Structure 1
Amino acid sequence: MNAAAEAGLRRILAVVDLLIDAVDEETLVPALLPVMLSAVPGDSIIWSPRAGAADRPLTLPADLLSQDVRDAFAREAATDSLVRHTTTGPGTPMRRSTLQTRSEFHSLAVYADVYRPFGAEQQLAMSFPAGYAEGVPRKVCMAISRSGSDFSDDDVAAAALLRTRLSHAMDRLAPPRALPPLITRRESAVLTLLARGLSNQQIAHRLAISPRTVDKHLEHAYAKLRVSSRVEAANAWLTRGATAVRLGR
């Protein structure tokens, strides 16, 4: 192994060591960003968690993105093929130059309004699963930018090597996924008959309980299924059933 390859391996191992020792995301990420910029050299890095509600990105340098740049990105990101690759595509490490020529990149409004202000002439981006946030699957999109030479094949390989380890670390540090709501056996029986089209009176007769008790069971089940009507409850039970809830006694 030559000296350059050995130095690159040491930088990758520094990231791995940091991930292994991490105890929470809040302290990990600020320490991780400069180490990532060493493993995959660049001028800046953007770490953008995404879940049901948009998280604010973290950057190095910390003041990389002005509010004007953030606003422009929100307006124009959908036109950026590299953003689409990381947000809705496979998220594997990708150089911008693989997706578009320099002139194609420079012709985009998102280049003039977002990337040119902080010197992002070359970019390498990827995304990876990062556990759950409030029950919603979460991913992190990460972009490393340079003003000079393009990223090499070795840079892409280093990012690919670290991507799986980053995902495992973030999944480990994420809060435990919330358990689905607990549906009682009686609520399950009521919902099953409701989904078959029975009225409350018929359900009460079938289960040997009062119609008022059926109403109460449905009231509780609606809240657990996050629905507000008989039709919604029936559809939820037919399409999701026990995958949406846990069955109690």
Structure 2
Amino acid sequence: MSTAAEAGLRRILAVVDLLIDAVDEETLVPALLPLLLGAVPGDSIVWSPRAGSAERPLTLPAGLLTPDVRDAFARESAADSLVTHTTLGPGTPMRRSTLQTRSEFHALAAYRDVYHPLEAEQQLAMSFPAGYAGGVPRKVCVAISRSGSDFSDDDVAAAALLRTRLSHVLNRLAPPPLPPSPVTRRESAVLALLARGLTNQQIAHRLAISPRTVDKHLEHAYAKLRVGGRVEAANAWLTRGRTAVHSAR
């Protein structure tokens, strides 16, 4: 293996080592961006959530995207084939030069208002599933830019290798929400009376069961609805618990 290849492998392994120890995305990404720029060398990197998310992109150098650049990208990126591949397509690592000629790139309004000011003459972009946010599947897009020479086949291969590991780690850090366990019909009956403001004694009298049994039904229902008290349980049952009633009694 050549010296350059050994150095490239070490840079990739540095990213992998960081991912293995990751405990949350908030601390991971700032440490990750410079290592990604080492593994797939470039002048800048943009790490951004799926379009439409309220999350702001993170960049290296920091503050790379001014408000004017972000606004221009929002207006003009729909005509950019690399953006389409990354956000709506398969998201595999892709060089801009694979999708369009230099003249086609320079003809884009986004080149004038976004890429040229950033000196992003060459780009390699990818996206990948990145766990869940607010119960909704999330995707992260990564774009690495250069002002000089184009990205090599080795750069694309390194990005592909890291893409799989990035997705795996982010899915681990933000797993899908667990489906709510269904409440039984008896637990639902208790919750319905609870939502009407009845006390445990009144619920017990109405259902001809003991107050202790009411306590147990509520304990189980709290766990299934993932709530911590009477008010939360009543609200949860009114908004979503009715759809989770199990046929068991």
- Pairwise same-fold verdict (TM > 0.5): yes
2:240 maps to what in 1?
224
Q: In structure 1, what residue type is equivalent to 2:83?
A: V
1:100 maps to what in 2?
100
Inter-partner Cα distance in structure 2 for 1:16 and 1:42: 19
Q: How does 1:27-46 map to 2 (within 5 A)?
A: 27-46=27-46
Inter-partner Cα distance in structure 1 for 2:236 and 2:149: 61
Give deviations 1:145-201, integer Å, cap 9, x for gaps. 000000000000000011100111111112x432344554549xxxxxxxxxxxxxx
1:5 maps to what in 2?
5
1:229 maps to what in 2?
none
Identify if the C-alpha distance between structure 1 residues 51 and 145 changes in structure 2 by more than 3 Å, giving closer, same or farther. closer
Structure 2 residue 59 is matched with structure 1 residue 59: yes
1:197 maps to what in 2?
none
Contact 2:185 2:246 in 1 (8 A): no
Inter-partner Cα distance in structure 2 for 1:140 and 1:246: 36
Give SS of 2:176's match: coil
1:177 maps to what in 2?
176
Deviation at 1:77, TM superposition (A): 1.2
Q: How does 1:15-94 map to 2 (within 5 A)?
A: 15-50=15-50, 53-94=53-94
Q: Which runs of 5+ in 1 are unaligned?
A: 188-218, 226-232, 238-244
Deviation at 1:44, TM superposition (A): 0.1
Q: In structure 1, what residue type is equivalent to 2:108?
A: L
Deviation at 1:76, TM superposition (A): 1.0
What TM-score do you get using the length of structure 1 for normalisation? Answer: 0.75
Inter-partner Cα distance in structure 2 for 1:145 and 1:110: 14
Structure 2 residue 137 is matched with structure 1 residue 137: yes
What TM-score do you get using the length of structure 2 for normalisation? Answer: 0.75
2:162 maps to what in 1?
162
Give SS of 2:28's match: helix
Identify if the C-alpha distance between structure 1 residues 18 and 107 changes in structure 2 by more than 3 Å, giving closer, same or farther. same
1:242 maps to what in 2?
none
1:201 maps to what in 2?
none
Inter-partner Cα distance in structure 1 for 2:236 and 2:60: 48
Give SS of 2:154's match: helix
1:193 maps to what in 2?
none
Contact 1:182 1:248 in 2 (8 A): no
Contact 1:183 1:248 in 2 (8 A): no
Q: Which runs of 5+ in 2 are unaligned?
A: 187-234
Inter-partner Cα distance in structure 1 for 2:113 and 2:17: 37
Inter-partner Cα distance in structure 1 for 2:52 and 2:185: 32
Q: How does 1:92-131 map to 2 (within 5 A)?
A: 92-131=92-131
Deviation at 1:106, TM superposition (A): 0.4
Identify if the C-alpha distance between structure 1 residues 63 and 220 changes in structure 2 by more than 3 Å, giving closer, same or farther. closer
Deviation at 1:224, TM superposition (A): 1.9
Give deviations 1:19-56, integer Å, cap 9, x for gaps. 01111111110000000000000000000022773310
Contact 1:14 1:35 in 2 (8 A): yes
Identify if the C-alpha distance between structure 1 residues 51 and 108 changes in structure 2 by more than 3 Å, giving closer, same or farther. closer
Inter-partner Cα distance in structure 1 for 2:57 and 2:14: 23
Q: In structure 2, what residue type is equivalent to 1:149?
A: S
Give SS of 2:117's match: helix
